[in-house]
Amino acid sequence: MGDFAPSMVKHCQLGYVKLLLGASLLLMRMYLGRASRLVSTVVVALFLTGCATDKAPRPALSRPFNFASDTFSYSNQLHWEYRFDDVTGKTTTYNRNPPPDYALHCFVVARSARQFLNHARFDAGLALVSDDDYRHLVRKVVSRSARSVSPEDCKVLIPGFANLRELSEAKPELLKEECGGAWQSYFQRGHWRMIFPFTRRQRQRTAEELVEEVRANDTALVHVVTFPQLSINHAMLVFDAQDAGQEIRFCAYDPNNPLEPATLLFKKADATFEFPRNYYFIGGRVNVYEVFRGWLY
């Protein structure tokens, strides 16, 4: 994967447009099956309008997401270093040296953090167990649906550590191996959504839904993308929101940066999302939609 051009891969890239379009059509067929032409027309219409399906009710979390304790200690690494030209807006990339050993896992890292929040509980007062036991426990957590929340008494008990951050500091390689491969960032069934228009009404509704979720102690796994440029194609976990008058400032866990939360802005005046400049994105307007929202995601 690292041998592909930066314009194809970036840091978590689906890239090749024909592949994406083909995958989207395949997903349509999978979901439609032998449905009638009328049903097909309805589903395609839903695609074109952003598929505004209602979200199934989820049990409430007992506490909000805590960035310091509910995130991984390691980051999703990038294949390139980025240099930005403020005059032309051009981005130039350079190969990282040494090359990364854990890249293209942004979706996996964000999804896994959500799964640990929803399905795991930690007890630092219990004795440590073997690596084989920890592998088994991690597999149990990430095998559960990222759409659901386990009741407290049914959560997977992780002994010997107080939280996910501590576990990932002690067992980084084990977690990297068990949480999922980079292919899961590519083959996520909600990726079809990026190729369709994002209307003002849809953007407004997305912002309102994100606010509702984080105020209910929930988290939202979002896809942040520019299409077809794909100057950014990234997954983050939104966990807080602050109304700042003319904009809403969303706080998010960016798998590329475990040191501090990222900020995702929603501009009320024109109902647009913006992602500020950082070390891998020049900054600017982006499209945002929530993964795991509705049956087509």
Render each residue's pLDDT in the chain as its tens digit; 297 residues: 444 444 444 444 444 344 444 444 444 444 444 434 433 443 444 444 343 334 455 566 779 999 999 999 999 999 889 889 888 888 888 898 889 999 999 999 999 999 999 999 999 999 999 999 999 999 999 999 999 999 999 999 999 999 999 999 999 999 999 999 987 777 767 777 888 989 999 999 999 999 999 999 999 999 999 988 788 999 999 999 999 999 999 999 999 999 999 999 999 999 999 999 999 999 999 999 999 765 566
Task: Give the separation between CA 250 and CA 24, rounded to whole angstroms.
Answer: 29
Residue 27: the pLDDT is: 44
The answer to whether the CB of 70 falls within 8 A of the CB of 141 is no
The CA dihedral of 10, 16, 20, 22, to the nearest 10 degrees, is -160
- What is the reported pLDDT for 297? 63
Q: Which residues contact 45 (CB under 8 A, 6 or more apart)?
A: none
CB atoms within 10 A of CB 172: 14
In whole angstroms, give the CA distance from residue 287 to residue 194: 8
> Which among 142, 132, 145 is positioned nearest to 174, based on CA atoms?
132
**Would you call 132 exposed, middle or buried from its count of C-beta atoms within 10 A (0-12, 13-18, 19+)?**
exposed
Q: What is the pLDDT of residue 61?
A: 79
Give the helix/strand (H/E) hosting 91: strand 91-95
